[in-house]
């Protein structure tokens, strides 16, 4: 049985988004994934301990993030999908550990003055914001980097020129 060839490059991002620098597109895509992550933790906290709810919500945010980053932020990555998925998981596991730890540290630091669901929500949001910086750096340099064999498909331009950074 023959396999159908895959297209040489993915469809470009939506025109209005494509005009924005990659870091800004990352903030929009990441903000959407982070909102899902943050909001998912509330119902998860009803049935899971805080740290596990944070971890599970991060997994949901990771799935959304991969789809959004691949489509809108790094559409010209020349790397095979399986390598992007593998590296995306690795980068996100590393940053999820940081986010989970940061959320717990902020929660503990706030405990003497501020307790309850609002404090947990703030702790989780602050940790997600810190993790966003690590995510951008990791995905730009690891997950969606160009293949080591040359420029990204579809343009012929070197990475530095295409990234806009």
| Alpha-carbon distance values, 51 to 14, 89, 99, 100 (Å) | 36, 19, 10, 7
Evaluate whether 56 touches 44 at the Cβ level (below 8 Å). Answer: yes
Highest mean pLDDT among 72-81, 83-92, 134-143: 83-92
- Work out the mean pLDDT of the chain and round it to a whole number: 80
Which of the four pLDDT bands, split at 50, 70 and 90, describes residue 1?
low
Residue 164's pLDDT is 39
pLDDT of 152 higher than 70: no
Which of the four pLDDT bands, split at 50, 70 and 90, describes residue 3?
low
Which of the four pLDDT bands, split at 50, 70 and 90, describes residue 9?
low
H helical segments located in the chain: 15-18, 22-45, 50-68, 81-110, 117-138, 159-163
pLDDT of 111 higher than 60: yes
Residue 137's pLDDT is 87
Residue 160's pLDDT is 38
CA atoms within 13 A on the CB side of 100: 17
Evaluate whether 132 touches 102 at the Cβ level (below 8 Å). Answer: no
Global pTM value: 0.63
pLDDT of 157 higher than 50: no
**Residue of higher predicted confidence among 17 and 119:** 119
Chain centroid to Cα 157, Å, comes to 25
Contacts of 29 (CB under 8 A, 6+ apart): 65, 68, 69, 72, 73
Evaluate whether 57 touches 40 at the Cβ level (below 8 Å). Answer: yes
Q: Find the angle CA(141)-CA(144)-CA(147) to the nearest 5 degrees.
A: 90
Query: What is d(CA 79, CA 76) in angstroms, rounded to the nearest whole number?
Result: 9
Query: What is d(CA 72, CA 64) in angstroms, rounded to the nearest whole number?
Result: 12
pLDDT in tens, 70-81: 888 888 778 899
């Amino acid at each position: 049985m023959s396999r159908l060839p895959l297209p040489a490059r993915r469809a470009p991002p939506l025109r209005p988004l494509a005009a924005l620098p990659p870091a800004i597109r990352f903030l929009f895509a990441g903000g959407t994934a982070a909102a899902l992550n943050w909001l998912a933790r509330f119902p998860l906290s009803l049935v899971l301990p805080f740290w596990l709810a944070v971890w599970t919500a991060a997994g949901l945010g990771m799935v959304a993030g991969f789809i959004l980053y691949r489509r809108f932020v790094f559409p010209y990555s020349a790397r095979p999908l399986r390598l992007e998925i593998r590296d995306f998981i690795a980068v996100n596991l590393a940053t999820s550990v940081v986010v989970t730890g940061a959320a717990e540290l902020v929660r503990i630091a706030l405990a003497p003055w501020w307790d309850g669901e609002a404090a947990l929500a703030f702790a989780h949001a602050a940790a997600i914001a810190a993790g966003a910086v690590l995510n951008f750096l990791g995905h730009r340099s690891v997950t969606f980097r160009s293949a080591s064999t040359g420029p990204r498909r579809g343009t012929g331009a070197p990475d530095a020129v295409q990234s806009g950074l």
